Structure 1
């Protein structure tokens, strides 16, 4: 993953006000000494007069670790301990806090938080360090080259003083255009196994403020009555029964007629009043299909000529090579709709200040989206809209939608009131599972030809499913020549050296609303690629690890070598091929979001009486592991997320209405489902890449391959529990 920025390009501004040192990027691109007129600048590093250092974190925290990772970069460069740096979330301002991989857009996603901030935050910390050192050099009359900062203490020979002593003087200096970044040999925090998360203590003692914890004076709680099937609109409603609920205030149809907002003094009253509300719906434009119809559409597309020849292959030649092969392996796969189901249901709170400004309190994953939407809804300039980003209790992509769905819903629920009271919008988990956004359904059809030596001579791959990006603001950058790359990522850009590959894609009609889901397209492409590699290895009579390595054998190809390295490490650490009687292993390796992850799943039991997952061994190459503790946690979480969903979960529709409603029938991974997860981080000098999502793609195919090794059967129709597999 390449970040197109430079030190000079990043260090476009520095500012200070009084005895506060602020370092970061200024919208006008001017590098200048700071003054009291520049208090509006939005920096990345803030050092108060008392020496308190605060990292301004531009990525929201939903558990994936930027509130630790980004402060680590700044603390490392300045010369602080982790106890000497605080963090706060950045305001909504895409001119300053944009995601460098998203363009002029502020947002968190695609496992890009560390990848796009690595240079940026180190440069900000290094600039602050040099300004403090230069201020000390002037005061002490010594050469700056002999001054260091260690544990927040500025040192020069026998002289030493805390950084607080130099903040005022440093704030008057010009920021360096090319601050010296520390050499990796100087790192004390980056890569340190003992560094722990900055947000763990407050989450453990209850001090952490999630979006759900916001309670403003005089606020109302709003819940939305939505149609059973997405696309219905309000004709009329009757709230006579709702009026009998204690705490009920009022109800109003949303301006877009997509639902009825029910207002109450508290959440429980809002739930009861909403349940009592009678609504007449116009369902003429609503989703009406059943799940089997959606599946049939996808399967029909797989059996027809693909709409797009993704890699411009000579399909006839590839097909002929497979037909003439000594062995042909074929499989058709189906992946159902999946919900995100984070632990904290969707919510946000909106208020209007005495000056007429609009303030949104939200676990805002992509603040630019609601910021732009609010300018239209409230007819206000951007500077009159403020987003206060809170902690979020999970997301997996759900808090980032192309249409800012729940934030817009809150604004519409607020705009129809007199705006004298803040409005807190709350979704229940049932709301999100039944009325939310879903991982799209997909199908894959693959034919692989092998010669007499067991080598691949042709690979024909058809993909059909529901495009995430088409019809959204992201279409311009994510769709090329009609192809939504998120539908075929992990196949089209696989590091495997596969001769004679033909890849086709067909879009099918979207079922309800689809959205990126943890690891996006890799969630189904990795399963297909890695189970097919296993099937091909079995057909060739070759060990699955050796077979994969044979297709990653180019010593001059760094992409292949990094993937091969994690594959070898996972196999070594799992003691591949040496398991007790009654157990079986499966392996998978995949590259996603710039990171390489291999996983070995070891199981016991049997498919009929119940399979138990005894151990998952994971090897990851994510470049420099800034916070190894966070990397391990994200691998563990990604593994659990991927395995849990493939075991039991699916979203099904009856007449367009979602059948599932909560965890009893949309069951996430339970803590007892996996006995042990063992994560190994491959040492690397490469720039950091993502860790939030890459643990998910290999987990499910590694489990599937283990079950195949045990039973001889590959489960290609998911979830497993609905297709012949039981779990202990």
Structure 2
């Protein structure tokens, strides 16, 4: 892999040079020089900002600004990145602030993605681990060098703590701000020595989140807060069926709504523009549109799943094969079979899609909660006939995403741009999707059907395992296809199934990818693992029952080659009191405990669920005990929050989540038909973090996959009923 800091400094970037990776910038001096003799500001020395690299800026006022290349959408990215840099800088945490980086893949690329900038796949901390620490260590070294020259003492005698540079022998001190100008003239070190874990003062501690204060006092900037001179707000009428087109429309009633400024047709539908969102919505409601559905998708959910079940009767493309599964199953003393159905799911983030686009003489300017910088930058450049560098993207806060804002097709961003283009760039446009737009015209976690078989020998050992999956590909036909689709296999469709950790000698995983289903699909929090974890872990409990073995014991037996999994599983089981009887419920209530373990984004999470099921089938998830190994815990409290949030997010899908289609039309439009988890449904959650000095791995998503199977396995323990579809229905559980 290339060096972790392949990012051009601002000074080098402006000079057009590719030279030293950690260049430095003297914007104050540069500004004074640009003014020239005899011009305004002559003789005035502007304050110098110390900017040793693309990620750090220190002001004369002692402010330490960390530039985040990753989006903050609630998962704690700003805090995590700042913690890593501030740790090596030895900054005062109270003086650290964070701002979002511009779209610039030369300086801010995701190191796991090559030359692309973006946030996703739970990679923010993992890909930045060395990069941000080296950025902080370089800044610290330059501050120390500047102090050593000023005080004429050896650099090795200087210490730095909480933003103060100190020489103990001479009792001299200086703040970062006092040294900023001198440090800016120091040579950027070619290499730096990073701290060992025993030296950490911020990493692994409870550093306060850097986005909380602004979000509480209302100063945090989201897309909805953006106001530009002359800006219009657009709301779009989308076709009710995917693939539908505008045949004709009558805008007379819409234009008659007071405040409506313009109505334009775009490839995605018809946009109504006004000075505010409500007026634009009223204008859209007054539109009369005739849709051309001749090429639209018209199947319903039941028909889609029926087709999937039929496809599952035949082998698909091989995703994983070891041993001879056919022979193993043919010779097995017992064969266990089960199939599982998973519906489409909406992302339903708190903040629906929105975007502000403005065309200027210099190019295109965008404001939004930007998750896929490079993809959106190139898509907009292509639409407007610009160079990518002419597309300036301002990354604001995002009110959630769960994968939705990282759209492979740049859908809502391009929709806003198409409106600007149709308006001939007469005004900046803020596109606003209402909740119904987000739920009916968006992208979804694909529906899937899974069919599994396992063979047991006479001693109850698992000798063979087959897993067949049927579902739409997220990647085929996208810009990511070349990188992530191999031999026709979409890697995210089979993740969690093709890399099953259990020691099974004969194992086959194959995949059918239907290409004629016109429902737009996209990654959803934990992507393929959102359904593979359920099928593999729920099925393994069925196998354990057929073998007459304890579910935990069987897992530990099969994890003999994966001690990391086994350790996490034992931790969760021990903390949950596995093997100890649960307290009985009220009259007619049945109680059970279930376990599941899964790896996603290189993090292993085990969860034990405790549930209570009433005689009528009402389900209550009482407790979730979670153990997680995600490498070094940068911000332990944030890790706990992400796992707790993952439990709530997953339970929303387990208990309620289902997007259904009838004649090709999505039936849900808002939270009345697609309800999130209510606070009263949230169980008590305990999170136990495995101590580690390994590099950090993902944590934004891995808490989601084991929830559903742990709950399903607990239900089976309580009632004897095995669940083969989600979401759970009370009719499935009634005594």
Q: TM-score, normalised by structure 1?
A: 0.94
- Confirm whether residue 584 of structure 1 aligns to residue 592 of structure 2: yes
- Greater shift in the superposed pair: 283-292 or 713-722: 713-722
SS at match of 1:311: strand
Counterparts of 1:296-315 in structure 2 under 5 Å?
296-306=306-316, 308-313=317-322
SS at match of 1:553: coil
SS at match of 2:291: strand
Alpha-carbon shift at residue 91 of structure 1 (Å): 0.3
Partners of 2:93 and 2:2 in 1: CA distance: 27
**Residue equivalent to 2:425:** 419
SS at match of 1:227: coil
- Greater shift in the superposed pair: 403-412 or 285-294: 285-294
Alpha-carbon shift at residue 14 of structure 1 (Å): 4.9
SS at match of 2:624: strand
**Residue equivalent to 2:263:** 251
- Confirm whether residue 159 of structure 1 aligns to residue 161 of structure 2: no
Return the match for 1:114 from 109, 125, 128. Answer: 125
Return the match for 2:638 from 630, 633, 636. Answer: 630
Return the match for 1:650 from 638, 643, 658. Answer: 658
**Residue equivalent to 1:395:** 401
- Confirm whether residue 174 of structure 1 aligns to residue 180 of structure 2: no
**Can you give the 5+ residue segments of structure 2 that lack an aligned partner in the other structure?**
32-50, 586-590
Return the match for 1:214 from 226, 235, 255. Answer: 226
Contact 1:13 1:26 in 2 (8 A): no
- Greater shift in the superposed pair: 274-283 or 592-601: 274-283
Alpha-carbon shift at residue 202 of structure 1 (Å): 1.5
Contact 2:452 2:467 in 1 (8 A): yes
Contact 1:26 1:96 in 2 (8 A): no
Alpha-carbon shift at residue 397 of structure 1 (Å): 0.5
1:35/1:250 Cα in 2 relative to 1: closer, same or farther (>3 Å)?
Answer: closer
Contact 1:47 1:53 in 2 (8 A): yes
Contact 2:721 2:733 in 1 (8 A): no
1:463-483 per-residue CA deviation (whole Å, 9 max, x = no partner) reads 111111000000001101111
Alpha-carbon shift at residue 305 of structure 1 (Å): 2.3
1:159-200 per-residue CA deviation (whole Å, 9 max, x = no partner) reads 2111112111111111111111111111000000x3121111
Contact 1:717 1:723 in 2 (8 A): no
Q: TM-score, normalised by structure 2?
A: 0.93
Partners of 1:10 and 1:227 in 2: CA distance: 46
Partners of 2:511 and 2:731 in 1: CA distance: 26
- Greater shift in the superposed pair: 46-55 or 127-136: 46-55
**Residue equivalent to 2:45:** none
Contact 1:604 1:611 in 2 (8 A): yes
Partners of 1:380 and 1:290 in 2: CA distance: 41
- Confirm whether residue 604 of structure 1 aligns to residue 612 of structure 2: yes
- Confirm whether residue 324 of structure 1 aligns to residue 331 of structure 2: yes
Alpha-carbon shift at residue 722 of structure 1 (Å): 7.1
**Residue equivalent to 1:446:** 452
Alpha-carbon shift at residue 5 of structure 1 (Å): 3.9
**Residue equivalent to 1:81:** 92
Partners of 1:226 and 1:638 in 2: CA distance: 31
Partners of 1:639 and 1:372 in 2: CA distance: 36
- Confirm whether residue 204 of structure 1 aligns to residue 216 of structure 2: yes
Instruction: State the number of aligned residues.
Output: 705
- Confirm whether residue 138 of structure 1 aligns to residue 149 of structure 2: yes
Partners of 1:620 and 1:383 in 2: CA distance: 41
Partners of 2:114 and 2:643 in 1: CA distance: 28
Contact 1:11 1:25 in 2 (8 A): no
**Residue equivalent to 1:289:** 299
**Residue equivalent to 2:105:** 94
Alpha-carbon shift at residue 29 of structure 1 (Å): 4.3
Alpha-carbon shift at residue 282 of structure 1 (Å): 1.4
- Confirm whether residue 190 of structure 1 aligns to residue 203 of structure 2: yes
SS at match of 1:345: coil
**Residue equivalent to 1:522:** 529
Contact 2:9 2:25 in 1 (8 A): no
Return the match for 2:685 from 657, 667, 677. Answer: 677
Return the match for 2:63 from 37, 49, 52. Answer: 52
1:440/1:607 Cα in 2 relative to 1: closer, same or farther (>3 Å)?
Answer: farther
Partners of 2:68 and 2:615 in 1: CA distance: 47
**Residue equivalent to 1:377:** 383
**Residue equivalent to 1:66:** 77
Partners of 1:401 and 1:697 in 2: CA distance: 21
- Confirm whether residue 232 of structure 1 aligns to residue 227 of structure 2: no
- Greater shift in the superposed pair: 138-147 or 574-583: 574-583
**Residue equivalent to 1:557:** none
**Residue equivalent to 2:708:** 700
Alpha-carbon shift at residue 540 of structure 1 (Å): 1.4
Partners of 1:548 and 1:532 in 2: CA distance: 12
